[in-house]
């Protein structure tokens, strides 16, 4: 029998069993965990996926990741399953429900799974309780009030699994995915009506928040000049976004930023959070010894409430736990093409930078080009080397912008080290029990290998932010607490010596003038 025929037989058995006990399974006390174990996981096993990791891969190499479920009110903070290629590239999410949930009509789970998929820039994701199976187009920006039919590309029930087996196998089976059938199903026109990519939408949000902060801060802090205004707006935004991402990654308690809106002066409350973050992270992002301006700012409560509220469900369409650093970097790259100026009437306005206006817009490097350059340069340099030898390689981007190339280079080095240590097992290898690099090792690689310069100080801050977020990928409150206790050090490195603001282009007589 072929794998498809074996899978079909298993599906027949599941459908028969579910049909015979439908009344019992529809009762509210038959819960989601039971549904996953009894039906949803066997369903995807029939499609050839290694749900239980029977191949014994390290956690980071598993085909299917079972996400930890963290309940926040009625919302769940992570999708139940992430189906991936062997290299870790996400393909689609599956959100599981119990059969008593009416998937066809309940807008909350539909919005939830679309929010996950859209934030991760996936094309489709699935909701199922086995009784129902709904496939959603995740290229359309989710809105909390959308009907369940919005962006739903296919809906079937367990009664259809037999007749729809060809479709299910040819679309969602592991065999079909490896042959490209999944890509054919999901590969639509990127410009089709109603689509809005998450990086473009996040750019719009950044622009709105920057405008609001700039207008408020310039109005209430007349002593600031244009450079100072640009600096404090950028720092405030970066700090808020960093901590909000940490919340969705379960590194910080969920809702902590929102709690700043519960009492007194909201900005004073935020400053307190920022200073606590400095004690914990030591990233330079929260260094108030160098940043005296932010401590003296006045920002009214209304402005901060507007911005912070838009970073939380249901107003926020972004699920930051699955929003990659690469997507953030793509948005920030465009964001950096504008600057805050103060017009003749003393009002803050956002304008294109003169050099950007002259060039006709911001040009950014597509991810596939970054990957190609990294593989064919750094990849070649790392061949047949040991980690000690690779530590001597210095990667410098002399015009780093938002850091897209440095992020790609850093990710390559993280993967290279993980692969090396996995293939050369040793008790002293810096790997976690799950097979990931330890945080100290990720910090060491970052400080040893990655360097950048940009003439734009805001670009430098964005590059630092992106690299720090990349360094923290996969961390949790528990892993960070363990690190702080075990190594007696704060979580993140300071990148002030690695990523600097300055002009990389100097004349040949530069050092002559310095000597004089």
> Where does a domain end: 156, 186, 216?
186
188-191-196-199 Cα dihedral, nearest 10 degrees: 90
Q: Looking at the predicted structure, is the pLDDT value of residue 504 above 50?
A: yes
Residues of the domain holding 223: 198-356
The answer to whether residues 29 and 62 belong to one domain is: yes
> Where does a domain end: 186, 220, 237?
186
Is there a cis peptide before residue 459, judged by omega within 30 degrees of 0?
Answer: no
The answer to whether residues 177 and 202 belong to one domain is: no
Q: Looking at the predicted structure, is the pLDDT value of residue 465 above 50?
A: yes
Q: Looking at the predicted structure, is the pLDDT value of residue 76 above 90?
A: no
Question: Exposure pattern of 201-237 as b/e (b: 16+ CB <10 Å)?
Answer: bbbebbeebbbbbbbbbbeebeebeeeebbbbbbbbb
CB contact set of 174 (below 8 Å; sequence gap of 6+): 47, 48, 49, 50, 63
| Positive or negative torsion for Cα 475, 236, 293, 303 | negative
**Cα separation, 75 vs 109, whole angstroms:** 9
Q: Looking at the predicted structure, is the pLDDT value of residue 502 above 70?
A: yes
**Cα separation, 353 vs 334, whole angstroms:** 11
Which pLDDT score is estimated for 190?
A: 43
Evaluate whether residue 192 is within a structural domain.
no
The answer to whether residues 374 and 351 belong to one domain is: no
Evaluate whether residue 506 is within a structural domain.
no
The answer to whether residues 208 and 172 belong to one domain is: no
Check if the beta carbon of residue 419 is closer than 8 Å to that of residue 427. no
The answer to whether residues 302 and 388 belong to one domain is: no
- The three-state DSSP-derived secondary structure of 398-411 is CCCCCCHHHHHHHH
Evaluate whether residue 418 is within a structural domain.
yes
pLDDT tens track for 367-423: 889 999 999 999 999 999 999 999 999 999 999 988 999 999 999 999 999 999 999
- CATH at 25: 3.90.1570
SS3 category, 193: coil
Alpha helices by DSSP H, 190-324: 198-220, 226-248, 256-259, 266-281, 301-309
CA 476 to chain centre: 14
Q: Which of 38-42, 118-122, 286-290 has the lowest mean pLDDT?
A: 286-290
Evaluate whether residue 509 is within a structural domain.
no
Q: Mean pLDDT for the chain? A: 88
SS3 category, 75: strand
Q: Which of 70-84, 181-195, 299-313 has the lowest mean pLDDT?
A: 181-195
> Where does a domain end: 329, 356, 383?
356
Q: Looking at the predicted structure, is the pLDDT value of residue 88 above 90?
A: no
pLDDT tens track for 97-109: 999 999 999 999 9
For residues 7-33, give the mean pLDDT: 95
The total domain count for the chain is 3
The answer to whether residues 176 and 215 belong to one domain is: no
pLDDT tens track for 214-225: 999 999 999 999
- The three-state DSSP-derived secondary structure of 250-286 is CCCCCCHHHHCCCCCCHHHHHHHHHHHHHHHHCCCCC
The answer to whether residues 298 and 328 belong to one domain is: yes
Evaluate whether residue 268 is within a structural domain.
yes
Q: Which of 138-142, 432-436, 442-446 has the lowest mean pLDDT?
A: 432-436
The answer to whether residues 169 and 267 belong to one domain is: no
The answer to whether residues 124 and 238 belong to one domain is: no
The answer to whether residues 321 and 278 belong to one domain is: yes
Evaluate whether residue 510 is within a structural domain.
no
The answer to whether residues 316 and 440 belong to one domain is: no
Evaluate whether residue 513 is within a structural domain.
no
Evaluate whether residue 361 is within a structural domain.
no
Please report which confidence band the pLDDT of residue 478 belongs to, taking 50, 70 and 90 as the band edges. Answer: confident
For residues 297-306, give the mean pLDDT: 96
The answer to whether residues 19 and 148 belong to one domain is: yes
């Amino acid at each position: 029998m072929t794998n498809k025929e074996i899978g079909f037989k298993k599906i027949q058995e599941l459908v028969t069993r579910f049909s015979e006990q439908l009344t019992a399974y529809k009762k509210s006390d038959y819960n989601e965990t039971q549904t996953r174990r009894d039906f949803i996981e066997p369903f995807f096993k029939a499609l050839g996926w290694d749900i239980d990791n029977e191949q014994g891969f390290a956690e980071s190499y598993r085909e299917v990741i079972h996400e930890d479920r963290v309940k926040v009110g009625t919302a769940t903070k992570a999708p139940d399953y992430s189906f991936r290629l062997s290299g870790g590239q996400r393909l689609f999410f599956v959100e599981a429900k119990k059969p008593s949930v009416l998937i066809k009509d309940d807008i909350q789970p539909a919005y939830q799974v679309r929010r996950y998929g859209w934030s991760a820039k996936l094309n489709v994701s699935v909701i199922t309780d086995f009784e129902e199976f709904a496939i959603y187009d995740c290229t359309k920006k989710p809105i909390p009030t959308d009907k369940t039919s919005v962006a739903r590309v296919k809906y079937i029930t367990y009664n259809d699994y037999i007749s729809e087996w060809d479709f299910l196998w040819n679309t969602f089976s592991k065999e079909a995915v490896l042959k490209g059938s999944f890509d054919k199903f999901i590969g639509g026109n990127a410009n089709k009506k109603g689509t809005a990519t998450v990086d473009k939408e996040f750019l719009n949000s950044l622009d709105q928040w920057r405008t609001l902060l700039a207008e408020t801060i310039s109005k209430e802090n007349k002593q600031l000049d244009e450079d100072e205004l640009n600096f404090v707006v950028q720092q405030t935004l970066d700090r808020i976004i960093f901590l909000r991402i940490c919340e969705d990654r379960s590194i910080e308690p969920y809702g902590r930023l929102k709690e700043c809106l519960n009492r007194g002066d909201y900005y004073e409350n935020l400053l307190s959070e920022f200073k606590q973050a400095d004690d914990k992270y030591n990233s330079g992002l929260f260094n108030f010894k160098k940043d005296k301006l932010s401590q003296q700012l006045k920002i009214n409560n209304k402005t901060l409430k507007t911005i912070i509220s838009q970073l939380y469900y249901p107003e926020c369409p972004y699920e930051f736990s699955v929003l990659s650093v690469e997507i953030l970097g793509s948005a920030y790259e465009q964001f950096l093409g504008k600057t805050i100026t103060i017009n003749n009437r003393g009002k803050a306005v956002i304008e294109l930078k003169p050099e950007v206006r002259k060039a006709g817009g911001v040009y950014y490097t597509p991810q596939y080009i970054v990957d190609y350059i990294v593989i064919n340069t750094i990849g070649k340099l790392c061949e047949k080397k040991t980690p000690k030898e690779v530590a001597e390689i210095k990667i410098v981007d002399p015009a780093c912008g938002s850091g897209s190339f440095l992020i790609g280079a850093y990710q390559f080095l993280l993967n290279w080290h993980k692969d090396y240590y996995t293939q050369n097992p040793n008790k002293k290898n810096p790997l976690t029990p799950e097979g990931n690099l330890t945080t100290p090792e990720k910090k060491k690689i970052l400080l040893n290998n990655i360097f950048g310069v940009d003439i734009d100080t805001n670009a430098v801050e964005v590059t630092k932010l992106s690299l720090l977020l990349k360094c923290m990928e996969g961390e949790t409150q528990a892993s960070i607490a363990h690190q702080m206790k075990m190594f007696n050090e704060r979580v993140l490195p300071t990148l002030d010596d690695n990523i600097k603001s300055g002009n990389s282009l100097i004349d040949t007589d530069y050092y002559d003038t310095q000597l004089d």
